[in-house]
Amino acid sequence: MTYLSKPKMHHPDLKANALGFTRRDYEGPVSTLCAGCGHDSISAAIIRACYQLNLQPHRIAKMSGIGCSSKTPSYFLGASHGFNSVHGRMPSVLTGANIANRDLIYLGVSGDGDSASIGLGQFAHSIRRGVNMTYIVENNGVYGLTKGQFSATADKGAKNRRGVPNMDEPIDMVSMALQLGATYVGRSFSGDKDQLVPLIEGALMHKGAAFIDCISPCVAFNNHEGSTKSFDYVREHNEAVNRMDVITGRAPITADYAPGEMELVRQHDGTYLKLKKIATDYDPTDRVAVMNYLQEHKARGEIVTGLLYVDSDADDLHGYLNSIDAPFNTLSDADLVPGAAALAKLNASLR
Amino acid sequence: MQNTDISNPDYFHKVVDCQWACPAHTPVPEYIRLIADRRYADAYMINWKSNVFPGILGRTCDRPCEPACRRGRVEEEPVAICRLKRVAADYKGDLTGRMPPPPTTKNGKRIACVGAGPASLAVARDLAPVGYEVTVFDSFARGGGMIRSQIPKFRLPESVIDEEVGYIEALGVETRYNSTVSSLKSLLDDGYDAVFVGSGAPRGRDLIIPGRQEAAANIHLGIDWLSSVSFGHVETIGRRVIVLGGGNTAMDCCRSARRLGGDDVKVVVRSGFDEMKASPWEKEDAQHEGIPILNFLVPIEFLHQDGKLFGMSFDTVRAEYDASGRRNLVSTGEPPVRIECDDVLVAVGQENSFPWIERDIGIAFDRWGMPKVDALTLQSTNERVFFGGDAAFGPKNIIWAVAHAHQAAISIDKFCNGGDLRDRPAPDVTVISQKMGIHEWSYDNDIRNDLRFKVPHLDLTIALKDIKEEVELGYDEQLAFKEAQRCLNCDVQTVFAPKLCIECDACVDICPVDCITFAEDGPEAELRTRLSAPAVNLTQDLYISDGLKTGRVMAKDEDMCLHCGLCAERCPTGAWDMQQYLIDLAQVSPIKTPTTRQGVMA
């Protein structure tokens, strides 16, 4: 654990965003995770994404469960709301918070233990309900806090530090999310911020359930020869289908790619996802094709990354429930307690 | 880009900006750490070895280190390096057993030093302990040269000069004070093996404009007047005084005049305020004492009546810059400005003067009357004669004089022993890891946010009453500690081992000043634009390392690095290490100094 606090001094040329905040203003206290943890890189990517999108820190709610990954919200967005729930229950707490106050931006941060084991049901239902959120799984394939047992996302045949292989089938969270109706699905790697930051930005701007599976090597227990979640293995087997930029506001959209290589996807809020195709025949809007593509490439041992699927016309839970536009905390007593007459009227309608 | 060669001693030396900027290359962070540890005598000895006059320089140095200080780039103001040096001198206590003893046997070589200023004394300090018979000549009654004659006592008390000149005299140096050297030829004929000329720039430049002769009684040359004040020959001045000139001598003149009865003292300068040669803090001190500085005024004439000066007239000018950026002062055409006064002090520059050096003894002079001196060896065209300080290359300052002296002493030593003068001895470089444990470092890497602490001053009403009353009180121990903690320890270097790196980005993410980038290689100019923070300061190097698995390079911009060590702290594989880099420049006499690593002197 690092005992030093990060010095307040910053580079004198550090730029402020449209709100007047520098990137450093989106930081939190120094991480207590192991030095070199992939999760810290994801925290840095979240900080960068929020800074670049000019998000007001106090309009973000970061939610998490239990685990190394779920500790990370302590280390970024120090001026945002946060809720550290019990193990695997982050999706429920997030859903409840979202119902109560739909004006906040919800960022769920979880891990492969929190979401693929104890919280698998919670994960599934929050996705299928279309909760408007960014759900990031920091996926390292091991239980770091309990010293490195295989988690439910560990690949079959992957070896632990003593060389013992994993015999269980892995849960592929991306495939599950697609099947359950997530409307924005990405996969990335903590060691590739150029890819990860825009992916998080796109998710934060997406209306509906946005899910990102981020492979995040555990330097203490899963970064050895024989691991399929190590820096070296992921770099060797990484097959990106596209590269993305998020274009907000009035920023000019320049076509710096040859026709057919670039695709623009307009999101619900008017931002554009500018996709540079790497796999030329890959269509991130065709859900069935995407699912097939992922299975084919997985069978070849490839880790497919990038913006895998997006439905830019998606609605969310509030739309399905036809709930009130205003956050509950802005409603008056009269709105919330309409009185005996209203109750009687309601009861009468049900008789 | 080329991989950075960190085994070249200059590479990490440059990162220690203060030490690199210091002409004598004093290991600044090392002595500041010792001050923070209240090991003042140790801090003093490190200074004494390197710059010979810590107490004097701690009050009067031109401080080339401070504008260079990294703290001044990441924050508002540099560490008060100079005044911390004074702290080491003020609190050092007993130095018994620390100074080198006079040699028990002499080596039979006789060296003459002309002038007893900082350059000559430093040559004597370097040569005497190893057995040279050094004789120092000076026309004044005591040693110190311009340190004693020109620097006002309210900035530098006599006792400090006596003490530090005394340390050198105690090394068995023969002093011939009150004796003027009138012929270099006869000195050479006396059979000295080598002669060092450290006679300074002793002549004040005059200002020849109408009225100069007629009003001469009340017009004084700055440095001559300062030395008359210094030696007690002048004790008063008129009530209204004009000081001409924008250098540090002008600042000393005006502040001295203010203490000798001048209650209406003005400094008048040809150039603008920012272009003045005086150090910013000296201008500040003068203004603090109620002395206005009037700029862009060029003297026209001294005004006088019946042989008595009553004022001066000036032409108002403005600065214009031509295509090549050269400044011209152009008259605005406004009517002349008249300023009344009783006395004028002319401090518009100093000149060298060598009437005592015969022109037929093999010493070549250039067309400005300066001796031709080798910049590396300090040797003149007469192989037995060496120059240093202001006498070598014109007026500079004390710390340059000391730096010249160290090099001249090495040259003289080699010359007397038949060595090759151009073969300069290598510095002594020590690099030691500071890692003590997983999260333990043997230096204090917690960066303090304090702004520069002001040095307490004597109350002005008291200070202006007595020209010998030291106006700066110096830091007390508490302030000194806090100021010392502002030092970033730039000599504790970030050292990168690419073979260990797994490219996890932990260092990139934690670096508070965005120094570190992993990127595709490219030409330096282009690479500088693609870093986490663009590296726009071209005077600061990029630390480049290839040999990474992905084929990228690690590029670290040294410019803003806080040396906080968080990169090494958050590195899972020890690819980053913090290593203290000490560079000790070669000197003739091996004076032993302590380091923070050692409890006792090595």
Domain map (residue ranges) of chain A: 23-321
In a mutational test of the A interface, the residue from B441, B448, B513 whose CB has the highest number of chain A CBs within 10 Å is B513
B423 Cβ partners below 8 Å, 6+ apart? B414
Contacts of A38 in chain B (CB under 8 A): 504
pLDDT band at A257 (very low <50, low <70, confident <90, very high): low
User: Rounded mean pLDDT of B428-455?
Assistant: 91
Least confident piece of the model among A311-320, B433-442, B469-478:
B433-442
Tokens encoding B226? 């300062």
User: Whole-angstrom Cα distance, residue A143 to residue B339?
Assistant: 84
Q: B600 pLDDT exceeds 50? A: no
User: Whole-angstrom Cα distance, residue B373 to residue B387?
Assistant: 7
Q: Dihedral sign for Cα A83, A88, A89, A94, please.
A: positive
Express each pLDDT in B90-145 by its tens digit.
999 999 889 999 999 999 999 999 999 999 999 999 999 999 999 999 999 999 99
The chain-wide mean pLDDT, for chain B, equals: 94
pLDDT band at A251 (very low <50, low <70, confident <90, very high): low
The answer to whether B426 and B584 have CB atoms below 8 angstroms apart is no
Q: Which amino acid is at B54?
A: P
User: Whole-angstrom Cα distance, residue B142 to residue B118?
Assistant: 13
Q: B256 pLDDT exceeds 60? A: yes
User: Whole-angstrom Cα distance, residue A202 to residue A210?
Assistant: 9
Instruction: Quote the minimal CA–CA distance from A114 to chain B in Å.
Output: 23
Q: Could you tell me which of B433, B443, B428 has the C-alpha nearest to residue B582?
A: B428
Query: Helices in chain A by DSSP H: which ranges?
Result: 38-52, 68-71, 90-100, 112-116, 120-128, 173-179, 193-205, 231-237, 287-299, 317-321, 333-336, 340-350
Contacts of A231 in chain B (CB under 8 A): 502-504
Helix (H) or strand (E) holding B126: helix B118-127
Q: Other C-beta atoms within 10 Å of B207: how many?
A: 17
The answer to whether B55 and B144 have CB atoms below 8 angstroms apart is no
Chain B CA closest to residue A25: B512
CATH numbers and ranges of domains, chain B: 110-202+352-416 (3.50.50.60), 204-348 (3.50.50.60)
Contacts of B571 in chain A (CB under 8 A): 35-36
Most confidently predicted of A251-260, A266-275, B440-449, B487-496: B487-496
- Strand order across the beta sheet in which B576-584 lies: B428-433, B576-584, B492-496
Instruction: Quote the minimal CA–CA distance from B176 to chain A in Å.
Output: 55
Tokens encoding B183? 């012929």
More confident residue, A275 or A96: A96
The answer to whether A49 and A200 have CB atoms below 8 angstroms apart is yes
Phi, psi of A244 (to 5 degrees): -130, 145
Burial class (CB in 10 A: 0-12, 13-18, 19+), B210: middle
Express each pLDDT in A149-161 by its tens digit.
999 999 999 999 9
Contacts of A235 in chain B (CB under 8 A): 549-550
- B contact set with A (CB within 8 A): 73-75, 439, 445-447, 449, 502-506, 508-510, 512-514, 533-534, 536, 549-550, 560, 562, 564, 566, 569-573
Facing A7 at nearest CB: one of B534, B562, B570: B562
The three-class DSSP label of residue B219 is strand
Distances from the Cα of A79 to the Cα of A23, A199, A202, angstroms? 13, 23, 22
Angle between helices A193-205 and A38-52 (to 10 degrees): 50
DSSP class of residue B286? H
DSSP class of residue B425? P
Domain A23-321 CATH superfamily: Thiamin diphosphate (ThDP)-binding fold, Pyr/PP domains (3.40.50.970)
pTM: 0.91
Burial class (CB in 10 A: 0-12, 13-18, 19+), B475: buried
Is B550 in Cβ contact with A232 (below 8 Å)? Answer: no
Is A3 in Cβ contact with B439 (below 8 Å)? Answer: yes
- At CA A291, angle to CA A287 and CA A296, rounded to 5? 145
Phi-psi region of B38 (alpha: psi -120 to 50; beta: other; left: phi over 0): left
Instruction: Quote the minimal CA–CA distance from B18 to chain A in Å.
Output: 20
Contacts of A12 in chain B (CB under 8 A): 73-74, 560
pLDDT band at A278 (very low <50, low <70, confident <90, very high): confident
Phi, psi of B431 (to 5 degrees): -125, 120
User: Rounded mean pLDDT of B189-194?
Assistant: 95
User: Whole-angstrom Cα distance, residue A198 to residue A48?
Assistant: 9
Contacts of B75 in chain A (CB under 8 A): 9
Is A35 in Cβ contact with B506 (below 8 Å)? Answer: yes
Name residue B386's beta-bridge partners.
B196, B379
Per-residue pLDDT, A258: 62
Chain A CA closest to residue B517: A193
The three-class DSSP label of residue A273 is strand
Distances from the Cα of B152 to the Cα of B119, B155, B252, B472, angstroms? 19, 6, 7, 12
A244 Cβ partners below 8 Å, 6+ apart? A195, A198, A199, A202, A273, A274, A275, A276, A306, A307
pLDDT band at B597 (very low <50, low <70, confident <90, very high): low
Express each pLDDT in B328-382 by its tens digit.
999 999 999 999 999 999 999 988 889 999 999 999 999 988 999 999 999 999 9
How much is the ipTM here? Answer: 0.91
Distances from the Cα of B463 to the Cα of B61, B156, B229, B344, B362, angstroms? 21, 13, 16, 23, 51
CA A19 from centre of chain = 24
DSSP class of residue A5? P
Tokens encoding A199? 């992916």
HEC readout, B492-504:
EEEEECHHHCCCC
Instruction: Quote the minimal CA–CA distance from A36 to chain B in Å.
Output: 5
Q: A3 pLDDT exceeds 90? A: no
Contacts of B552 in chain A (CB under 8 A): none
The answer to whether B51 and B24 have CB atoms below 8 angstroms apart is yes
HEC readout, B449-488:
CCCCCCCCECCHHHHCCCCCCCCECCCCHHHHHHHHCCCC
User: Rounded mean pLDDT of B404-412?
Assistant: 97
Q: B589 pLDDT exceeds 80? A: no
Per-residue pLDDT, A85: 97
